[in-house]
Structure 1
């Protein structure tokens, strides 16, 4: 199946993205380069590129982005997601399950009654929690 660059696809979720990325890499014989280390490195590079349009903005909110910056952010987010999906595929990690698991762990680490409205890292208030037990 050949696809045009501007062709839009339905929103099939992470499974459809993973499959399209597999086909994309296979057609180009790039699987040999897609080691977990290389994919993790590429993910970090793309995450840094995602930060670039926000670098000198006051707050980095949507209304501060021009049309070109907004499009750049959109495409860098897609790159980050793509590398994350490829890395998860190589390591056989179900991203949806892993994310639900991590949210549950974070809920335990950051109890609402202790952190509501407080942006500190959990280590900064952990002593407060221990003292109140």
Structure 2
């Protein structure tokens, strides 16, 4: 039983590594997954403080500053200053950031589709059923 659990975890890790390797090889922009996650959060929730984004990513404020600096420099996000208190800044996604996210999602979908096309429809149903069962816990 323990061996099966380890083998299953190893297989999930291998799949994730395969996706990441194919991602790196096919996505033309040099941007971290963390930065893409930040852009996705900004798209979903609107302008946010860096501390909120650091908590979301579970990274240090310093690491979040590095991510913010990079996405602002590349014009994927912009800093918005509070009219009432200029010490308060929020990050907001730009049109260029939205385009990057769209391209990233298309690349991810293509990679996952290619990898999962080796499964039959029945295998995909089983796969989904198993993941739903695990996710419900």
Bigger RCO of structures 1 and 2 (CA < 8 A, at least 6 apart)? 1
| Superposed pair shares fold, TM > 0.5 | no
In the superposition, the TM-score normalised over structure 1's length comes to: 0.31
